[in-house]
Amino acid sequence: MNNHETPTPINAKFFSKGAIILSLFALIGALGYIYRLISGLDATTNLNNEYPWGIWIAVDVATGVALAAGGFTTAALADIFHRDKYHSLTRPALLTAMLGYTFVVVGLLADLGRYYNVWHPMLPSMWQGNSVLFEVGICVMIYLTVLYIEFFPIIIEKFKGHVKLPGLLSRYNSLVESFLKISHRTLYRVLSLFIIAGVVLSCLHQSSLGTLMVIAPYKMHPLWYTPILPLLFLLSAISVGFPMVIFESILSSWSFKLKPELKTLASIAKYTPILLFCYLSIKIADLAIRNAFDYLLEINIQSIGFILELGIGVVLPMMILFQRKKRYSINYLFLSASCIVFGILLNRINVFLIAYTPPFSTGYYFPSLIEIAVTIGLISGLILVYRFMVIHLPVISIERVKFNVISKKHESKSTIKG
């Protein structure tokens, strides 16, 4: 890579104040998670026969998958459409996607009544081609593998040339070294095949996640029930891809006291308002065709949820990002990216929980403390692993001349290059 920016391990302490707080959350979440695996769903969640799905599906799985869309959208832009100036964003996006999907699977396990059977869909004898969930499951599984393969070169880059295994294992040093060399050579040749596969797989399961709820026409509130839910899910996932990359790039530059890559981020943000505009138009047209506008006039949790989702998640950030000046303001950029990320969260919660109104319902669903703790714990855990990896692996690109904090970065960079 002969860009002026090279991915470099960040020189920072792992346990900052924030990281300690996050560790605490992650620990509480882990305890809740273990308690769930041992004692069952009734003891730990507020799920019941009327509301079989809760936040572990709506947030951990559905939102998790959507927010990992930065991986495939950035890869498509930088690698397939060859917009090379965005290359510095691909690695953080890839790492987010890889960790995002890993945690989606971890979160899903907590929700499955028989989590130890999670491998069943892999058995050809149990394949069920009519099931939307089967397609989602298989796609996510393959995509996760693709993500690990795509990430592997970063690991190679870190260790190739200086493998030092501890103790007895050191006799295998040269073996591992040659393995890395061979995989380095082959991977660089075929990586583009995997990158395209990643984009195709993403399109498939991002949309299929929307198809999931199409099977419940009599339970879904008309504001969200539409046969084009898969299209809306795909489009919203594509729309949130870049904002998610912006969101976390700014966050990590603040956390590591680096200079934000404002120019690149502002530049990639120019696509977002156009995507949001398409999404909004389709959403409104869909409401109009289905004559569902009247439901917005009723004041209830559904209409409020719908208006918040579109207002905060789509309209507001679209208005901000259409203005070039505001795209180049770090605060506005961060605000609008946060809005879109929040909007996706709201949308997935709306589709899977708020819109879900079973005909014979006696109550409503609100997550239990343990459900919330596990969800927050998973998010915290993800951020911590992300932090750990960018400290130790060449993921984030730092502008060589302009960075302002510690000069040690030069050293770490040169060791990597050497």
Residues facing residue 398 across a β-bridge: 6
Please state, as a whole number, how many other Cβ atoms lie within 10 Å of the Cβ of residue 225.
18
Interface with other proteins (CB under 8 A), residue from 20, 24, 34, 117: 117
Selected range binding other proteins among 81-89, 97-105, 148-156, 405-413, rule: CB under 8 A: 81-89
Site for other proteins in 216-245 (CB under 8 A): 216-219, 227, 230
Q: Count of residues for the chain?
A: 418
SS3 271: helix
Query: Does 214 sit near other proteins (CB under 8 A)?
Result: yes
Residues 75 and 275: their CA atoms lie apart, in Å, by 17
Query: Does 322 sit near other proteins (CB under 8 A)?
Result: no
Query: Does 197 sit near other proteins (CB under 8 A)?
Result: yes
Residues 257 and 246: their CA atoms lie apart, in Å, by 16
Minimal distance, residue 40 CB to other proteins, in Å: 4
Selected range binding other proteins among 21-29, 32-40, 252-260, 343-351, rule: CB under 8 A: 32-40
Query: Does 199 sit near other proteins (CB under 8 A)?
Result: yes
Spatial contact of 60 and 103, defined as CB atoms under 8 Å apart: yes
Query: Does 192 sit near other proteins (CB under 8 A)?
Result: yes
Selected range binding other proteins among 170-178, 215-223, 389-397, 404-412, rule: CB under 8 A: 215-223
Residues 349 and 342: their CA atoms lie apart, in Å, by 11
- Looking at the Cβ atoms of 130 and 404, the one nearer to other proteins is 130
DSSP code at position 218: T
Query: Does 267 sit near other proteins (CB under 8 A)?
Result: yes
Q: How far is CA 347 from CA 16, 230, 264, 266, in A?
A: 33, 13, 28, 25
Residues 246 and 236: their CA atoms lie apart, in Å, by 16
Selected range binding other proteins among 47-55, 170-178, 331-339, 341-349, rule: CB under 8 A: 47-55
Selected range binding other proteins among 124-132, 166-174, 241-249, 295-303, rule: CB under 8 A: 124-132
Interface with other proteins (CB under 8 A), residue from 17, 113, 291, 401: 113
Interface with other proteins (CB under 8 A), residue from 14, 15, 81, 159: 81
Query: Does 76 sit near other proteins (CB under 8 A)?
Result: yes
Phi, psi of 10 (to 5 degrees): -80, 135
Interface with other proteins (CB under 8 A), residue from 5, 28, 53, 391: 53
Selected range binding other proteins among 83-91, 248-256, 293-301, 302-310, rule: CB under 8 A: 83-91
For 308, the token pair is 């918040």
CA atoms within 13 A on the CB side of 165: 10
Minimal distance, residue 291 CB to other proteins, in Å: 16
Residues facing residue 5 across a β-bridge: 399
Q: DSSP string of 129-194?
A: TT-HHHHHHHHHHHHHHHHHHHHHHHHHHHHTT-----GGGGGGHHHHHHHHHHHHHHHHHHHHHH
Query: Does 208 sit near other proteins (CB under 8 A)?
Result: yes
Residues forming contacts to other proteins in the complex (CB under 8 A) are 38-43, 45, 47-50, 52-53, 76, 79-85, 111-115, 117-118, 120-121, 126-135, 137, 192, 196-197, 199-200, 203-204, 207-208, 211-219, 227, 230, 263, 267, 270, 356, 358-360
